[in-house]
Amino acid sequence: MHFPTVFAAAAAVATAQAELIGFNYGSTFTDGSAKAQSDFEAEFERAQALPGTDGEFTSARLYTMIQGGTTDTPISAIPAAIDTQTSLLLGLWASAGQADFTNEITALTSAITQYGSDFTSLIVGISVGSEDLYRNSPTGIAADSGAGADPATLVDYINQVRSAISGTSASSSSIGHVDTWTAWVNGTNDAVIEAVDWLGMDAYPYFQNTISNGISVANATFFEAYDNTVGVASGKDVWVTETGWPVSGPQENDATASVANAETYWQQTGCSLFGKINTFWYILEDALPTTPSPSFGIIGSDLSSAPLYNLTCSNAALGSTASSSASSSKTSSAISTASSATKPASASGTNTESLSAAAPGPETSPVSASISQTTAASVASRVASSAASQGSSGVASQSGSPSASTMTSAAVTSSVVVAGGYTSTTYQTTLITITSCSAGCTSSETSVAGASENATSAVAPTSTASPSSASVGTAAPSPATSSATTAAAASSSASVTFCDANLNGEYQYPHLIVPVNSAEPDTAYGTQYNGTITPTTSTIFNFDLPSSYAGKTCSLVFLFPEQAALETSAFTFNGQGGISVNELSSPATQETTYDSVPSVAVSAIGTLASVSPGNSYVVASHECNAGATQAFEFVSTGGLSLEYFEDWNPSPIGAFITVC
Ligand SMILES: *[C@@H]1O[C@H](CO)[C@@H](O)[C@H](O)[C@H]1NC(C)=O
Ligand SMILES: *[C@@H]1O[C@H](CO)[C@@H](O)[C@H](O)[C@H]1NC(C)=O
Ligand SMILES: *[C@@H]1O[C@H](CO)[C@@H](O)[C@H](O)[C@H]1NC(C)=O
Ligand SMILES: *[C@@H]1O[C@H](CO)[C@@H](O)[C@H](O)[C@H]1NC(C)=O
Ligand SMILES: *[C@@H]1O[C@H](CO)[C@@H](O)[C@H](O)[C@H]1NC(C)=O
């Protein structure tokens, strides 16, 4: 599967016409007690009265049609929405089996009968399910996220809802499904894409803890996920049904939960979405009565208190200017008019009252119990939801890897690059270049105190793929710290530029990491976090190279720090052998097996005769194949057996492409 790069996202953003702006609303509080109509009303009124938002949070996404504590009574968010003129993205819980799904449909049709067009005129969409496919995926299962549903079941349920609403005043409602972006890009789920009118995408860069996921790259990471989803959506609308950044909670790789970062994410990502793409933020309030960890609420536990951070968009995305685009929206303009009429009545007093009135007994049905659990746990489930596929993912199971406290020795590693067998660059740490030897370092130059072993990599000088010296020389000036230009290779008169074997400059991480196993030639393992290179298992890495790399040099590098330099990653290595790397003619997919590996385009484009921890290697280097997806297969030689968790922080480990 090809994953378009983030660079296509801007276009997708620019062309989108939709503009629902709202929050997600669970059916229960954090103690599992059901929200009453007055609770929903208080929340909807507060959303419309948030300072800095110009009253534009007029839409609510629900997870279930069923009122907490009942079997199939319509959720009281419906009359609350009617009273506050809040538009509704309805949700039917789809992971509890047919009997419970039938109750969801009963609640939907009962509500249509009971409230009529007052209700149906507010419906902006109906989601059949929420993250059901994710919960059924390996990462969802590993994260203990609860029961899911398979694609065929969801398609069946979608058809059931279509027939349930036909002939009613809700018959024109568009039907979608909400899932993590990783579930959408999984081709096995394509039948769901075919069955829906629109795709609801949940994405949380905070949880993508196997890649660089600090707040500084969060916006780009989010839009990459969005763009990946748009890329598989068959032209259907992609709605952002959940995203947000926690105000408190645990560190996830380099993502810090904080009010300041939540504000930055709102400002960068939220304000890029609001008014352009249907967006349901996670979340208005999630801390009543107890604060979950992480907590995403933009308001603390007191609904009437001020937001925790400044919600005003500096790009004026929320405001009269931006909302003039409302005319193109499928949301009825009557709703926005009505809601702006209710907006000034901000509800400090009433909110307090209604909240204190909300102390329902714990009389929850099994269904509502499972929903409340999911709603509360849905955030936790995202630990793996974000990015499992494409190697860019957050994975819960990894958080228990080597303990950070025992592995915080900084700057211990030395790295030696011997590129092309002719040029060496020495690094004192994996991140700082201290030596550059343009004509080939002597062994004493390549040896650095602290290095456990010397690296000797015999790298094929990228024979066929190497650009002419002229094109390299002009197009790719080496940065001062770079390993510089090699001397002419014996087999080629071309001079080849190598980019740094570190991630200080521009780089790409693999978007798909797919092992293939000669002992299980029919097995498709799908994308993984680990690179596995053993005598029977090779790993294919797909890289998506943006078209903006045209004319630049790309170096495939293999970074192998010492264990002591790793905090969130680990490797197991038998200390013998090397790695041979083939460039493949086409990318791997989630379905690639040993028997279906794409043909080899360049055999042994790079060969590392031996590898050892504490070293970084340039495997191959040539002019960037800009705009292409390139796949490289790492094959064990000489009995090498290496498994590692591809990671970025604090010391990168694994296959990357550096750009210069
Ligand atoms: C892809 O989707 C199918 C069907 O939902 C699921 O069984 C499978 O585990 C998913 N694969 C991955 C890698 O998520
Ligand atoms: C966030 O990314 C989108 C898509 O690339 C872009 O349009 C927007 O300007 C970015 N926002 C900020 C604040 O960088
Ligand atoms: C909130 O942010 C907006 C836009 O950046 C700014 O104009 C305004 O002064 C800020 N308000 C406060 C109270 O900081
Ligand atoms: C590493 O280089 C040093 C200095 O040249 C040399 O003495 C040593 O034997 C080398 N070690 C290995 C494992 O090759
Ligand atoms: C990934 O590799 C590391 C290091 O060998 C290992 O500890 C971890 O269990 C592996 N993870 C998986 C999911 O196989």
310 lines ligand 3 (CB under 6 A): yes
* Residue 131 known to be catalytic: yes
Q: How far apart are CA 108 and CA 110, in angstroms?
A: 5
312 lines ligand 3 (CB under 6 A): yes
The full DSSP string for 151-176 is HHHHHHHHHHHHHHHTTSTTTT--EE
Q: How far apart are CA 112 and CA 271, in angstroms?
A: 34
Question: What's the 375 CA to ligand 4 centre distance in angstroms?
Answer: 58
The answer, yes or no, to whether the previous bond of 294 is cis (omega within 30 of 0) is yes
Nearest-CA residue for atom 5 of ligand 2: 10
Taking the CA of 319 as reference, the closest ligand is 3
Kindly report, residue by residue over 525-572, the tens digit of the pLDDT: 888 888 999 999 999 999 988 888 888 888 899 999 888 888 778 899
Question: What's the 183 CA to ligand 2 centre distance in angstroms?
Answer: 24
Q: How far apart are CA 81 and CA 335, in angstroms?
A: 11
Token pair of 318 as six digits? 């929320």
For ligand 4, which residues put their CB under 6 angstroms from it?
Answer: 443-444, 447, 453-454
Nearest to 373 by CA among 63, 78, 157: 63
Q: Which atom of ligand 2 is nearest to the CA of 222?
A: 2
Distance linking the first and last C-alpha atoms of the chain? 27
Matching residue, tokens 């039907």: 175
Question: What's the 258 CA to ligand 3 centre distance in angstroms?
Answer: 18
114 contacts: CB under 8 Å, gap ≥ 6: 74
Query: β-strands 433-437, 512-517: how paired?
Result: unpaired
At residue 176, the pLDDT reads 98
Q: How far apart are CA 25 and CA 75, in angstroms?
A: 12
Nearest-CA residue for atom 12 of ligand 3: 310
443 lines ligand 5 (CB under 6 A): no
- Which residues on adjacent β-strands are paired with residue 415? 427
Q: How far apart are CA 427 and CA 434, in angstroms?
A: 5
Q: How far apart are CA 374 and CA 144, in angstroms?
A: 11
At residue 192, the pLDDT reads 98
604 contacts: CB under 8 Å, gap ≥ 6: 460, 580, 581, 582
Question: What's the 347 CA to ligand 1 centre distance in angstroms?
Answer: 45
Nearest-CA residue for atom 10 of ligand 4: 454
Nearest to 552 by CA among 511, 497, 492, 618: 497
Nearest-CA residue for atom 9 of ligand 1: 137
Nearest to 427 by CA among 448, 457, 456, 454: 448
Query: β-strands 537-544, 512-517: how paired?
Result: antiparallel
Taking the CA of 138 as reference, the closest ligand is 1
Residue 501 contacts residue 617 (beta carbons within 8 Å): yes
396 contacts: CB under 8 Å, gap ≥ 6: 139, 142, 143, 144, 383, 384
Residue 576 phi, psi (nearest 5) = -130, 160
Nearest-CA residue for atom 11 of ligand 2: 268
10 lines ligand 2 (CB under 6 A): yes
Nearest-CA residue for atom 1 of ligand 4: 454
Nearest-CA residue for atom 7 of ligand 2: 10
- At residue 302's C-alpha, the angle toward residues 299 and 307, to 5°, is 25
Ligand 4 pocket check: which of 454, 576, 610 to mutate, most ligand atoms within 8 Å of Cβ?
454
189 lines ligand 1 (CB under 6 A): yes
Neighbours of 569 (CB within 10 A): 27
77-84 and 37-48 helices, crossing angle to 10° = 40
Rg for the chain, CA atoms, rounded: 27
Which candidate in 104, 242, 285, 583 is catalytic?
242
Matching residue, tokens 């009557």: 334
* 3-class secondary structure, 606: strand
Q: Which atom of ligand 1 is nearest to the CA of 140?
A: 14
The full DSSP string for 621-642 is EEE--TT-EEEEEEEEETT--E
Nearest-CA residue for atom 13 of ligand 4: 453
Which candidate in 131, 252, 562, 583 is catalytic?
131
180 lines ligand 1 (CB under 6 A): no
Q: How far apart are CA 512 and CA 592, in angstroms?
A: 11
328 lines ligand 3 (CB under 6 A): no
Nearest-CA residue for atom 9 of ligand 4: 454
Q: How far apart are CA 278 and CA 26, in angstroms?
A: 19
Question: What's the 424 CA to ligand 4 centre distance in angstroms?
Answer: 15
390 lines ligand 5 (CB under 6 A): no
At residue 497, the pLDDT reads 66
- Which residues on adjacent β-strands are paired with residue 59? 22, 87
Residue 142 identity: A
Ligand 4 pocket check: which of 441, 442, 443 to mutate, most ligand atoms within 8 Å of Cβ?
443
* Residue 353 known to be catalytic: no
Q: How far apart are CA 67 and CA 297, in angstroms?
A: 22
**Dihedral angle of Cα 15, 19, 20, 21, to the nearest 10 degrees:** 110
Residue 303 contacts residue 42 (beta carbons within 8 Å): yes
Question: Which residue numbers in the chain have pLDDT < 50?
Answer: 1-18, 321-496
Residue 81 contacts residue 87 (beta carbons within 8 Å): yes
At residue 245, the pLDDT reads 97
Question: What's the 604 CA to ligand 4 centre distance in angstroms?
Answer: 27
- Which residues on adjacent β-strands are paired with residue 255? 252
Question: What's the 310 CA to ligand 3 centre distance in angstroms?
Answer: 6
Q: Which atom of ligand 3 is nearest to the CA of 267?
A: 5
Nearest-CA residue for atom 12 of ligand 1: 137
99 contacts: CB under 8 Å, gap ≥ 6: none
Q: From residue 659, give the alpha-carbon distance in Å to each of 472, 550, 586.
A: 12, 11, 21
Question: What's the 6 CA to ligand 2 centre distance in angstroms?
Answer: 10
306 lines ligand 3 (CB under 6 A): no
Nearest to 396 by CA among 515, 186, 252, 202: 252
Distance between alpha carbon 105 and the CA centroid of its chain, in Å? 31
Taking the CA of 454 as reference, the closest ligand is 4
Taking the CA of 575 as reference, the closest ligand is 4
The full DSSP string for 403-441 is -GGGG---S---EEEEETTTEEEEESSSS-EEEEETT--
Q: Which atom of ligand 2 is nearest to the CA of 219?
A: 1
Q: How far apart are CA 627 and CA 622, in angstroms?
A: 14
